[in-house]
Amino acid sequence: MALFRELGSGPTAERESEFRAVCDRAFTDVLTRERGVAWLAESAAGEQVGDPVGSNVLLLFPRIPSPNCLIADEGYVLSVYTLPAWRGRGVATALMRESIAEARRRGLARLRLHATPAGQRVYAGEGFKLRTDEMELWL
């Protein structure tokens, strides 16, 4: 919820409980059907141990191989978020490294994500490159 609020796209107060319920169902579906993996970073000893401070999700997608890439699976990283008080401490970097390591263990062809301007530095530091060839159609 904090991620969407910070991006200025959070639900209205009237729709917050509905949004939470839809998200709960979606995350449960993704995780129980093994269509994704999620990470939750927790605070360390001495700082309210176990409190969540960051998170991210790696969705797994089938893809059709191409002549340049014969691998038939890829990933999409989303919901990367670090609480403001924890930014600059390497939380997002650690979460991204876990996602990348998992993608490599699974033999995925590539990882994609959408980046806020603030997050681009973290992702570029892990080897992600900007693309300008994508389009979308909202249905």
User: pTM of this prediction?
Assistant: 0.87
Q: Can you give the pLDDT of all 139 residues of the chain as single tens digits? A: 888 888 888 888 899 999 999 999 999 999 999 999 999 999 876 566 668 899 999 999 999 999 999 999 999 999 999 999 999 999 999 999 999 999 999 999 999 999 988 899 999 999 999 998 888 888 9
Burial grade of 43 (CB within 10 A; 0-12, 13-18, 19 or more):
middle
Burial grade of 54 (CB within 10 A; 0-12, 13-18, 19 or more):
buried
Instruction: Report how far Cα 134 is from the mean position of its chain's Cα atoms.
Output: 19
CA distance 56 to 43: 15
DSSP state letter for 89: S
Backbone angles phi, psi at 33, to 5 degrees: -90, 5
